[in-house]
Structure 1
Amino acid sequence: MATVTLDRLRKVYPNGHVGVDEATFEIADGELLVLVGPSGCGKTTLLRMIAGLESISSGTLSVGGRVVNEVPPKDRDIAMVFQNYALYPHMTVAQNMAFGLRLRGKPKAEIDVRVRDAAKLLELEHRLDALPAALSGGQRQRVALGRALVREPKVFLLDEPLSNLDAKLRLSMRVEIARLHRQLGTTTVYVTHDQVEAMTLGQRIVVLNGGQIQQIDTPMRLYEKPANLFVAGFLGSPAMNLLRGTLRHGSGWSLETPDGTVPLGELPAQSHELLPWIDREIVFGVRPEDLRLADADHAALSAVLEVPEPVGNEIFLNLRHGSQSLVSRVAPGALPEAGTVMHFALAHDRLHVFEPSGGTRIV
């Protein structure tokens, strides 16, 4: 196990494209850290730089206190699990898992012990003689994990390892990866574009966009206090509702939008920070669960139900408020018909407020 430290790490391609821009953070010894962001945000590039598969344009990368900028991948004591399983079809499960150790000249007795230990951990002990073609997708992914486990590296790197699996297998493999990490305690960096995977797996999450780090924090801190509009919109399913308009303050706070005025009440927790924004454009964010059903007399806004989505333990109401699309998350119950006008209140103590241009969080 080891600490991984990135100090102003930067990747610039020959055509001038900046893949990673000044990445600075530390992955603690034994931590499971997730890199998340949309396609092309730089997360896989950053992972490959840690692995040594991508050169570093500038900055310093250290593993266990040793600078490894120029150290070849095989000498970094890092194991990587790729998106595709990359299993040898003519080799058995045991042979695939042992392949890297054989290349390193490990004694056969030691290889056998490591392979059997990893197979037991991954519940593959009864499939060691099987070829990859005879395995399910989940079993193949476990073999790829086992091939990394047997090396007993200082750091595991996982590049979207579940993206080829169906929804049910993804869920079970997420649980399995979390369980393995708890048992082994190995420093792990996990790349995904799936924010649900990021939220459920990561002890901390690094959110990237356009090669730049947007925010680093625990899953719930990112959800409850997103640093900017990008993080607010990216993390959360369904995404945060955003209301853009001019902030007014008369008998109480209100947001004047093109679709009408939304009363905000007294907002005691946010009042001080919002004073400089009176009569200026601003963006309010409200999570779907904080857009709550209300009677007409106590509603902040009304909206037309376009599509109700019952998903068992909750219902997503897809709404239209003038030109604005909104989503409310409500408890299961009788489904209203599409076209119904519904009334909603805002959870005033859980509102998020952002600058309209740069998108930086105000409150």
Structure 2
Amino acid sequence: MAHVQLEQLRKVYPDGHVAVAGASFEVADGELLVLVGPSGCGKSTLLRMVAGLEAITSGHLRIGGRLVNDVAPGDRDIAMVFQNYALYPHMTVAENLGFALKMRRMPAAEIARRVADAARTLELDGVLGRRPAQLSGGQRQRVALGRALVRQPQVFLLDEPLSNLDARLRASMRVEIARLHRQLGATMLYVTHDQVEAMTLGQRIVVMHEGQVQQVDTPLALYRNPANRFVATFLGTPAMNLVGGRLLREDGWRLATGEGSALPLPEDVAIDAGLEGREVQLGVRPEHLLQGAAARGFDAVVEVVEPMGSDVHVHVRAGGTALVARLAPESLPEPGATVRLRIAPAQLHLFDPASGVALTPR
């Protein structure tokens, strides 16, 4: 396997559209790194640049230490798995798995060995004689993975490989891919718009927005310490609550939200004294709005209750501010009821209203 280095990689189309604006990060040897972001953020374009399917406007791309900007896709020693399985319908599973090796004129015995190894790894032993039309969606996806696996490339590139599957299959295939990565120790660059896939699969995650890399870190570090408002609200379901207002320090920190309303902040909150009187956006995740009587709490009126089984998403309004709290299913309030909420200590975030940059220590 090999590591991948991107240095100020940039893609500008002839019409002037900047699809990728100076992406810089590394994929370590044997790492599974996930590119995540909304549609149109440039993540698939970036993956295609690594694959050699998109020309690089500027910057440097190295695979295994070798500069590959002008190297043809077939000579980069990478294998790509697409959203569309792209299997040959007239070929059996075994023939699909071994086709690329056959085109390289590899000895038949070596092809058979690699196909058998891949089939055993992906639990396809019993369907090698079937054609794609006779397979389930999950089996077809495993064949597409196996076709990349038999090539034994330096780097695996996966472009939203699970998006065509239903929720149950996506969950099971996430486990398959994570297990496969641990077994192979392979270098993988994985693209998805699904934050659940990103958080559960990635050893590290690259969050992208409008062609720019927003933050690169481990899943929990991104969730707990977002660098800006976009990262904070993109990761997490339900999304982080955002409340605009002015920070005041009257009998403890408060956020004045207008019309005489204010949200009291926890007593031990760490806020720079220089932010007093400044307009900010306060961010708090739904699970960090706690129910129960508290001196630094506030009353909120329940508007909508969404039972989720393991927890309950409660939409409330506090002094004109809409919030979502994730509560235990044991405390199921009725719409119209008033609940007492408080913000969990050390679990709030502050963002600059204009730039979105985090103002709280990371």
1:265 and 1:186 map into 2 onto residues whose CA distance is 45
1:350 matched to which residue of 2? 347
1:91 and 1:28 map into 2 onto residues whose CA distance is 36
2:325 matched to which residue of 1? 328
2:291 matched to which residue of 1? 293
1:100 and 1:49 map into 2 onto residues whose CA distance is 22
Unaligned stretches of 5+ residues in structure 1: none
Displacement of 1:265: 4.2
SS of 1:283's equivalent in the other structure is strand
SS of 1:74's equivalent in the other structure is helix
- Range 339-348 or range 313-322, more displaced: 313-322
- Counterpart code for 1:279: G
Note the alpha carbon deviations across 1:79-114, whole angstroms, 9 max, x for none: 000001001111110111111111111111100100
Displacement of 1:336: 1.9
2:308 and 2:67 map into 1 onto residues whose CA distance is 49
Note the alpha carbon deviations across 1:222-256, whole angstroms, 9 max, x for none: 00000000000000111111111001112211100
**8 Å Cα contact 1:20/1:45 also seen in 2:** yes
Displacement of 1:326: 1.3
1:235 matched to which residue of 2? 235
- Range 311-320 or range 175-184, more displaced: 311-320
- Counterpart code for 1:262: L
**Identical aligned residues as a percent:** 62
2:280 matched to which residue of 1? 282
Matched, 1:73 2:87: no
SS of 2:301's equivalent in the other structure is strand
1:15 matched to which residue of 2? 15
- Range 297-306 or range 94-103, more displaced: 297-306
Unaligned stretches of 5+ residues in structure 2: none
1:325 and 1:131 map into 2 onto residues whose CA distance is 53
Matched, 1:205 2:214: no
- Counterpart code for 1:23: A
- Counterpart code for 2:262: T
SS of 2:175's equivalent in the other structure is helix
Matched, 1:339 2:336: yes
1:42 and 1:194 map into 2 onto residues whose CA distance is 15
- Counterpart code for 2:315: N
1:263 matched to which residue of 2? 264
SS of 2:140's equivalent in the other structure is helix
Q: How does 1:1-363 map to 2 (within 5 A)?
A: 1-258=1-258, 260-268=261-269, 270-271=270-271, 273=272, 275-295=273-293, 298=295, 300-363=297-360
**8 Å Cα contact 1:253/1:267 also seen in 2:** no
TM-score with structure 2 setting the length:
0.97
Note the alpha carbon deviations across 1:245-285, whole angstroms, 9 max, x for none: 001112211100026111114345x23x2x22211101111
SS of 1:238's equivalent in the other structure is coil
Displacement of 1:38: 0.3
Note the alpha carbon deviations across 1:136-157, whole angstroms, 9 max, x for none: 0000000000000000000000
1:151 and 1:324 map into 2 onto residues whose CA distance is 55
**8 Å Cα contact 1:32/1:202 also seen in 2:** yes
1:312 and 1:265 map into 2 onto residues whose CA distance is 29
Displacement of 1:167: 0.4
TM-score with structure 1 setting the length:
0.97
- Counterpart code for 2:303: E
1:178 and 1:99 map into 2 onto residues whose CA distance is 25
Displacement of 1:354: 1.2
1:91 and 1:337 map into 2 onto residues whose CA distance is 58
2:318 and 2:92 map into 1 onto residues whose CA distance is 58
Displacement of 1:299: 5.3
Aligned residues between the structures: 359
The 1:282/1:267 distance shift into structure 2, 3 A limit, reads farther
Displacement of 1:343: 1.6
- Range 9-18 or range 95-104, more displaced: 95-104
- Counterpart code for 2:358: R
The 1:172/1:39 distance shift into structure 2, 3 A limit, reads same
SS of 1:126's equivalent in the other structure is helix
SS of 2:317's equivalent in the other structure is strand
